[in-house]
């Protein structure tokens, strides 16, 4: 059951990506709910779960679009692993670390996705176009992370809330 919770998060993000995200686009910039879910899983569960959920989210992202199947899976897998590794090796706790990680993960994912597509001969976008789209998309994903991350992280955490207190002495 514990392994199905990250998968449920990715499937829910797929539904949000298809059903809601096109309607909340601002100036042609759409957030990436699948990437946000993969990074959230990575931040809560660690690098291995981030890598697996990133691969699943990237594969679903590739299946939604018209690009070749595989570049999104590769990029999201690497970004999920990196986000999980950063959280595992960071001692700070609070609301700022997830926002910074989501921002840089979004920037990295957008740039790496365009780079991989260019290597495959599918890219038709310039460096200026990547900067124009990647930076606002990263800001949008970070703004959504303020709202989404606490709820999804609470859903993903496996610790049970403490209901009783024991005396230590």
Instruction: Compute the distance between CA of residue 45 and CA of residue 67 in angstroms, rounded to an integer.
Output: 30
Residue of 118 and 143 predicted with greater confidence: 143
Residue 105 has what pLDDT?
A: 96
Q: Is residue 120 part of a domain?
A: yes
Q: Is residue 23 part of a domain?
A: yes
The domain spanning residue 131 has which CATH number?
A: 1.10.1760.20
Residue 130 has what pLDDT?
A: 81
Q: Is residue 38 part of a domain?
A: yes
Say whether pLDDT at 98 is over 60.
Answer: yes
Which of 79, 9, 26 has the alpha carbon at shortest distance from 50? 79
Per the prediction, the chain carries an average pLDDT of 88
Q: What is the mean pLDDT of residues 126-152?
A: 89
Contacts of 67 (CB under 8 A, 6+ apart): 117, 122
Q: Could you tell me the pLDDT band of residue 168, with boundaries at 50, 70 and 90?
A: very low
Number of domains in the chain: 1
Q: Is residue 139 part of a domain?
A: yes
Which of 86, 79, 82, 89 has the alpha carbon at shortest distance from 110? 79
- pLDDT tens track for 12-28: 999 999 999 999 999 88
Radius of gyration of the chain (CA): 17
Q: Take residue 83 and report the two structure tokens written for it.
A: 């986000």
Say whether pLDDT at 159 is over 80.
Answer: no
Q: Is residue 165 part of a domain?
A: no
Instruction: Compute the distance between CA of residue 79 and CA of residue 85 in angstroms, rounded to an integer.
Output: 10
Q: Is residue 161 part of a domain?
A: no
With 0.85 as the threshold, say if the pTM is over it. Answer: yes
Q: Is residue 126 part of a domain?
A: yes
Residue 74 has what pLDDT?
A: 97
Q: Is residue 109 part of a domain?
A: yes
Say whether pLDDT at 162 is over 50.
Answer: no
Which of 125, 117, 101, 129 has the alpha carbon at shortest distance from 39? 101
- Residue 123 is part of which domain span? 4-156
Q: Take residue 128 and report the two structure tokens written for it.
A: 């200026």
Residue of 73 and 97 predicted with greater confidence: 73
């Amino acid at each position: 059951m514990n392994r199905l919770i990250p998968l449920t998060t990715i499937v829910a993000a797929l539904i949000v990506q298809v059903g809601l995200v096109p309607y909340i686009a601002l100036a042609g910039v759409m957030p990436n709910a699948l990437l946000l879910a993969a990074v959230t899983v990575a931040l809560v569960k660690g690098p291995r779960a981030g890598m697996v959920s990133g691969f699943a989210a990237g594969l679903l992202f590739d299946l939604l679009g018209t690009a070749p199947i595989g570049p999104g899976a590769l990029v999201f897998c690497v970004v999920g692993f990196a986000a999980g590794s950063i959280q595992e090796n960071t001692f700070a706790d609070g609301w700022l670390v997830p926002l910074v990680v989501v921002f840089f993960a979004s920037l990295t994912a957008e740039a790496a996705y365009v780079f991989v597509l260019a290597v495959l001969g599918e890219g038709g976008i310039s460096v200026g176009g990547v900067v124009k789209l990647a930076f606002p998309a990263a800001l949008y994903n970070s703004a959504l992370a303020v709202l989404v991350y606490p709820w999804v992280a609470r859903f993903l955490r496996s610790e049970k809330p403490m209901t009783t207190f024991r005396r230590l002495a």
